[in-house]
Structure 1
């Protein structure tokens, strides 16, 4: 055959493939989530998410210390309080579980660790919604006021990045304004800009005991839409977001690519609980090569345009040399 172009030349050996690889996944690209509960001395595996644990602020320090040795420097914390009420008052209470987690990490590790906190009311409300509820409706503006106060409590604890995940209109601007008014101008905002009303969140809601009464389709995005993701991203950036996020990841790689094309800031995606548990369960059943699948999934997210990935796979992937 007389072929001038033979692309296989650059795939001939492992060394050659490594030489021309366009995409990589490294520890610095990964953000590790943690589920922090009240009390002390707790490290309990979550049944629906093998290898993921409920921890208390003290055992969180041990987990993060081990992660730092692997190069995992960025850690996202979700607070799970004992007390829940209609307004999520625990989210803005002094010395709540999230504040203790953040302050403990910063006291121990200083700037060697980057702390991120989830800003949302769902884990703190008895109805499981991300905002205030009246007559079955989710109230936007009163919810935004509470969310901004929640972000301020995290800033007071020393958090590096607050991450509003509620999908209320205007919450990024309200958070930025309140942080700046209180001299927390250096606290960054990672906005969940394109968060879809997805079926992939099941294990997470079980983990946080935050399944809503009804659903969240009146504020989270419709899975059928893509232009809306661009609009939400533009609005969040106009309001002061420093980074933007797409959630979930695998079923929304096209959205990651669209957001990447519009945003000059870092783009983050969330490799969510359902995506994680599907891989874990398939691997446990002997149906897939877990290492190869995790690597392929993470590479796909990076290839689509994500600068950073929130994932539950990070620790194991690094420990076992999958990436």
Structure 2
């Protein structure tokens, strides 16, 4: 199997061995078997956050196809929704909106699996999964046992968690979300979304309206998968938004976006830095095989016949250009498998 067939960037060479699992027990068994044989292991579910080397993966690739959503709901405590790791994320968000579960509607349209969301603390348009996760069930490869880790112990931060801090140690099996019941969204925290909805920041809006508006916003930026649109053949946002100390943020141009954080740091926009450094939408490698999306500078795209080397070369060009212009080093968001910037 070519890993290009199971990643949204459509990149990656052959896997040595492939195991497909459909239950938690099969997933744990596949990981234990690989570990017992000291075989390199790569877990692939949605494949939306991976950049895999052209040489492929010399080990076992486990395709996580586990499914299942269990719900316990009542008017007092809301809904606790336990979701298997392989469930497609956007299917879950659609179900939440249809069912009147509040708290993940602004995360509509994000590709990938539910099990990947706590690792990156996936977020968009003012929401993060950390706001609604109750606990995460994992297989701990170090302790060689299944564990339940409650949200308070997950180490959630901006695009970060304890699962990301110790790469490879934890295999997410299931995620439990605690969601309020209602017809209106959580307070809208993102100005662009509030404007599109015709409400003020902090107001609520009907769940279905929020989902529809987020899908439209993401679609306009090429951030909703479309088999016919190369602008969506990406890993989503390739770089995280830099979080700077106050002094570094002060050195940015006056026009640079600044979002003060509770700890005194300042978040800025990677997309703004990329464009201000001279990289316009559609900026491409010399052969045109990889380019920035024509809709959004933060997405690096495969135009149809790119290699991983092509995309990484473009990423280096952008990273180095931003560093030279502003003294800020952009950090990649996808997981790089067998390759590096």
TM norm structure 1: 0.33
